[in-house]
Amino acid sequence: MSSDPAARLRAAGLRTTPTRVAVLGALESLGGHRTADEIGASLASAGPGIPRASLYHVLGALAEAGVVLVADAGPGTARYEVAAAWHHHLVCRVCGAIVDVPCVRGTRPCLEADLPGVTIDEAQVIFRGRCASCAGAQGSGASASGTSASASGASGSGSGASGSGRARRRDHRTA
């Protein structure tokens, strides 16, 4: 993956506008899974920034072109990331960290459903559990079921994090 935002835009067939270059550059510099507000704040700290609507428009165009991914971590604010391969996420119930989980197939859709007349173009799995840092902090007293990640079901039984005790999300990226 090229570290030059303009080259990445051209490779995806997008025009290299100053706004697109700035947004992609900010997301690459920030790393991890970032909200539009975090990207906007980074841009504003480095210069005049861009209007919120323009930021969302650019992020949508970058996601549609496959230059960035929308990191689905469940209900809440959309997060964006620069990633070379399709993958899933684990959301830590303790600290809120979002950890990349490699997809078995590496392409979408990675799951198939037998639904007559339906075309599926994407399937995302959200794992919930404890990240390596939090699982390690629990020591040997943690139960086996508490330390393993589980996919959230469509029924919503796994939706929502462990309550209001978490102040912020941390990012853990896998190699």
* Terminal Cα-to-Cα distance of the chain (whole angstroms): 14
The larger pLDDT score, comparing residue 6 to residue 125, is at: 6
Mean of the per-residue pLDDT values for the chain? Answer: 79
Question: Residue range 3-7: average pLDDT?
Answer: 89
Q: Name the least confident of 15-19, 38-42, 171-175.
A: 171-175
Answer with the residue of higher pLDDT: 46 or 124. Answer: 46
Q: Which residue's structure tokens are 């102040």?
A: 167
pLDDT in tens, 80-104: 999 778 888 999 999 999 998 888 8
Residue 57: is its pLDDT beyond 60?
A: yes
Please tell me which residue, 128 or 143, carries the higher pLDDT value: 128
DSSP string, 98-134: EEEEE-SSSSS--S----TT--------EEEE--HHH
* Strand, helix or coil for residue 139: helix
- The answer on pLDDT for 155 being more than 70 is no
Kindly indicate the confidence band of residue 1, based on its pLDDT and cuts at 50, 70 and 90. Answer: low
pLDDT at 139: 65
pLDDT at 167 over 60: no
What is the CATH code for 5-71? 1.10.10.10
- Helices vs strands, H then E, count in the chain: 6, 7
List the chain domain ranges: 5-71, 85-172
Q: What is the pLDDT of residue 94?
A: 94
**144 pLDDT exceeds 60?**
no
pTM of the model as a whole: 0.69
Q: Which DSSP string corresponds to 11-37?
A: HTT----HHHHHHHHHHHHH-SSB-HH
pLDDT at 60: 96
Q: What is the pLDDT of residue 162?
A: 35
Stretch 146-156: mean pLDDT: 34
